[in-house]
């Protein structure tokens, strides 16, 4: 039986690796379900989703040089308008939309800092960091000066 790209077939999991699962297809050929094609959600370990010997339905994604790429998540029929669980994530919180009309009125907007101000702030923090570093190394050496012989 020839495996066609885009077709859905039943297969048996024959091996599991850290990067995916090998599936024996009808006709004796073997394909790989990459870890990213196991489920819609994040998959840390394939063993959490599949076991050797499981009968699964897979979709043939591609076939190149005798290597067959398979997908479990693309074999699942979904209603129109729902692509995956990733698209159902809630939006991130705490982000400020700079394109909103009243962005400046709702936040503590500060005008852009000039280059000279940035440089002065950088020099000040650098001096503070260097002096605290010097204090730390001097105390480890036993005070001022280097080694005493």
Domain total of the chain: 2
Which tens digits make up the pLDDT trace of 9-57?
A: 999 999 999 999 999 999 899 999 999 999 999 999 999 999 999 999 9
DSSP H stretches of helix in the chain: 103-106, 115-141
Question: Residue 124 is part of which domain span?
Answer: 111-141
Alpha-carbon distances, residue 127 vs 113, 130, 132 (angstroms): 20, 5, 9
pLDDT in tens, 93-136: 665 555 545 555 555 556 678 889 999 999 999 999 898 888 87
Distance CA 41, CA 147 (A): 59
Residue 2, in any domain of the structure:
no
Tell me the pTM. 0.53
Q: Considering the domain boundaries, does residue 95 fall inside one? A: no
- Out of 31, 56, 77, a domain closes at 77
Beta strands of the chain (E only): which ranges? 8-17, 20-24, 30-34, 55-64, 67-71
Same domain? For 67 and 120 the reply is: no
Q: What is the C-alpha to C-alpha distance for residues 16 and 35, in angstroms, rounded to an integer? A: 10
């Amino acid at each position: 039986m020839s495996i066609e790209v885009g077709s859905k077939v039943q297969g048996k999991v024959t091996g599991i690796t850290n990067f995916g699962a090998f599936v024996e297809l009808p006709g004796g050929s073997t394909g790989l379900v990459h870890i990213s094609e196991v489920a819609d959600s994040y998959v840390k370990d394939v063993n959490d989703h599949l076991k050797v010997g499981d009968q699964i339905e897979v979709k043939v994604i591609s076939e190149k040089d005798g290597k067959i790429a398979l997908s479990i998540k693309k074999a699942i029929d979904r209603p129109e308008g729902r692509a995956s669980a990733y698209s159902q994530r809630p939006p991130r919180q705490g982000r400020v939309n700079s394109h909103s009309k009243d962005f400046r009125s709702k936040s503590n907007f500060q005008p852009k800092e000039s280059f000279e101000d940035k440089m002065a702030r950088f020099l000040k923090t650098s001096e503070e960091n260097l002096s605290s570093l010097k204090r730390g190394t001097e105390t480890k050496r036993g005070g001022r000066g280097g080694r005493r012989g």
